[in-house]
Amino acid sequence: MSSFRYQFFTAISLAASSLRAHKLRTFLTLLGIIIGVTSVVLVGAAIEGLGNYAEVTTSKAFGSETYLIAQIANVGRLTRKERAEKLRVNKQIRGDDLDYLRLTTGDQILYAPYRTRVEDIKRAETTYEGAAILGTGAVLPSIRDVVLTDGRFFTDQEERTRQYVCVIGDEVREKLFVGVSPIGGKITVRGYEFTVLGVQEKLGNAGGRSQDNSVTTLRFLPSRARRRA
């Protein structure tokens, strides 16, 4: 045991002597270790932070426990030929399909129609270009994390009676309703007029695209509406 202690303390003494004799090399070695460990910690923290941010923004945009049923779910990754083939083979989803799903599994799963398109919108003489128009149902807040900073979302009664109402994103509010409350205001999409019921909280950008330029309606460009000149 005494031999082990002698060897142990001798090794420590030699190491300390070597460190004192080569101070610059010791400093550079320690500096390299500190920088390396710090870099690993910072990168790990950044990755975890981005993951948490993506999870939060995704749940607000798409819901945390949701899935999408579509004729083509991801058009952007398909070639023109692949898209044409899927359109030929895949059945187009219609209102009757939604009614069937609600009838068969509606007590276990929530369903909301969902359709998007980019359009210019107007209020009086002001135009907002490239808004994301989303047609959906009143059940959407039960599926997604939809938080409103002003007003309210649609009701089931408004959906049943096909009211022409909408909820706008924060960016749309800033551009079209400067200095005034948007609640009860009117906006026009391709000649169809909608009444603003609420304003969604500011979501920021995701994947380089704004999530605050949305106009959520009960119908996507309804078949019955009074056109405005």
Helix (H, G, I), strand (E, B) or coil at 193: strand
Residues 57, 69, single domain; the answer is no
Whether 159 and 52 map to the same domain: the answer is no
Give me the pLDDT at residue 168, please: 94
> In the chain, which ranges are E strands?
115-123, 126-135, 148-151, 165-168, 186-189, 192-200, 205-206, 209-210, 214-217
Does position 136 have pLDDT exceeding 50, yes or no?
Answer: yes
Residues 179 and 78 in one domain: no
CB 96 within 8 A of CB 129: no
Domain that holds residue 44: 2-62
Q: Are residues 74 and 154 in the same domain?
A: no
Digit-coded pLDDT (tens) for 64-93: 567 777 777 765 677 788 878 877 888 887
Verify that 24 and 53 share a domain, yes or no.
yes
Verify that 188 and 130 share a domain, yes or no.
Answer: yes
Mind listing the pLDDT tens digit for each residue in 6-62?
Answer: 666 676 776 667 767 777 777 788 788 888 888 888 888 877 776 666 555 555 555
- What's the CA gap between 113 and 93, in Å, rounded? 10
Q: Which of 21-30, 162-171, 200-209, 215-224 has the lowest mean pLDDT?
A: 215-224
CB 83 within 8 A of CB 75: yes
Task: Give me the number of domains the chain comprises.
Answer: 3
Whole-number mean pLDDT of the chain?
79
